[in-house]
Chain A
Amino acid sequence: MTLNRTRAGLILAAVIVFTAPRPAAAQVNLVGYWNPLVADEDFIERVPGPNVGDYAGLPITDAARKRANTWDASLLTLPEHQCKPHPSTYGFRGIGVLRIWEERDPATQQLVRIKTHIQWQAQERDIWMDGRPEPSELEPHTWQGFSTGKFDGDVLVVRTTHLKAGWIRRNGLPLSDRATMTERFIRHGDLLTHVMMLQDPVYLSEPLVKTNGFAMAPTGTMEPYPCRPAVEVPREAGEVPHHGINDVPATREFAALHGIPEEAAAGGAATALPEYMAKLPSLPIVEPKGDPNEGFGPPPAPPAGRGAGPGRGRGAGPGGAAPAGGTGRGRQ
Chain B
Amino acid sequence: MNHRVFLDPRVALVAATMSAAVLCGIVTAQQAPPQQPNFDAISVRSFKVQDNVYMLAGAGGNVTVQFGNDGVLVVDTQFAQMADKLLAEIARLSGNKPIRYIIDTHVHPDHVGGNERFRRAGRAIVAGNVAGDVRGNEGATVIAHETVAARMSQQDGTTPPAPGGAIPTDTFFGESDEVFFNAEAVRLIHQPAAHTDGDVMVFFRKSDVIATGDVYVNTSYPVIDTARGGTINGIIAGLNRIIGITVPRDKQEGGTMVIPGHGRIADEADVVEYRDMVTIIRDRVQEMMKKGMTLQQIKAAGPTSDYDGRYGATSGFWTTDNFVEAVYRTLGGK
Name which residue of chain A comes closest to B239, CB basis. A238
B227 contacts partner chain A, Cβ-Cβ < 8 Å: no
Most buried by B among A63, A64, A121, A138: A138
The segment out of B22-30, B109-117, B279-287 that lies at the interface is: B279-287
Note all chain A residues with C-beta closer than 8 A to B301.
Answer: 245
Does B165 count as interface, using CB distance less than 8 angstroms? no
- Measured CB to CB, the closest approach of chain A to B275, in angstroms, equals 7
Is the beta-carbon distance between A138 and B264 smaller than 8 angstroms?
yes
Which of A70, A135, A164 is the most central at the interface, judged by chain B CB atoms within 10 Å of its CB? Answer: A164
Q: Please tell me which stretch of A7-15, A46-54, A76-84, A305-313 contacts chain B, meaning at least 4 of its Cβ atoms lie within 8 angstroms of it.
A: A76-84
Determine the interface band of chain B, counting residues with CB < 8 A from chain A: 35 or more
Min CB gap B183→A, angstroms: 25
Segment at the A interface, from B82-90, B94-102, B251-259: B251-259
- Write out the residue numbers on chain B whose beta carbons fall within 8 Å of the beta carbon of A201: 309
B267 contacts chain A at the CB level, 8 A cutoff: yes
Say yes or no: is B45 at the interface (Cβ < 8 Å to chain A). Answer: yes
Which residue of chain A has its CB nearest to the CB of B233? A238
Let me know if B13 and A137 touch, CB within 8 A.
Answer: yes
| B310 proximity list for chain A (CB < 8 A) | 176-178, 202
| A80/B272 contact (C-beta < 8 A), A138-B57, A140-B266, A202-B309 known | yes
Q: Is the CB of A164 within 8 A of B309?
A: no
Q: Which residues of B contact A139 (CB under 8 A)?
A: 1, 3, 47, 264-265
On chain A, the residues within 8 Å of B252 by CB distance are: 80-81, 83-85, 143
Q: Given A143-B253, A237-B240: A138 and B45 within 8 A (CB)?
A: yes
CA–CA, A84 and B5, complex, Å: 32
Q: Which residues of chain A (186-209) have a CB below 8 Å from chain B?
A: 201-203
Residue B236 lies at the interface, judged by CB distance under 8 Å to chain A: yes
Cβ–Cβ < 8 Å partners of A61 in chain B = 309
Contact code string A122-149 (vs B, CB < 8 Å = 1, else 0)? 1100000000000111111111000000
Contact in complex: B309, A240 (CB < 8 Å) = no
**16 A-B contacts (beta carbon < 8 Å):** A63-B305, A70-B306, A83-B250, A84-B252, A137-B9, A138-B47, A138-B263, A139-B3, A140-B264, A141-B264, A143-B252, A177-B270, A177-B310, A201-B309, A202-B310, A242-B283
9 nearest A-B residue pairs (beta carbon): A202-B309, A66-B306, A240-B279, A67-B306, A63-B306, A138-B264, A84-B252, A140-B265, A80-B272
Seen from chain A, the residues whose Cβ lies within 8 Å of a Cβ on chain B are 61-64, 66-67, 70, 75, 80-81, 83-85, 121-123, 135-143, 164-165, 176-178, 201-203, 227, 237-238, 240, 242, 244-245
Which B residues have a C-beta under 8 Å from some C-beta of A?
A: 1, 3, 5, 9, 13, 45, 47, 55, 57, 236-237, 240, 243, 248, 250-253, 257, 263-270, 272-273, 275-276, 279-280, 283-284, 287, 301-303, 305-310
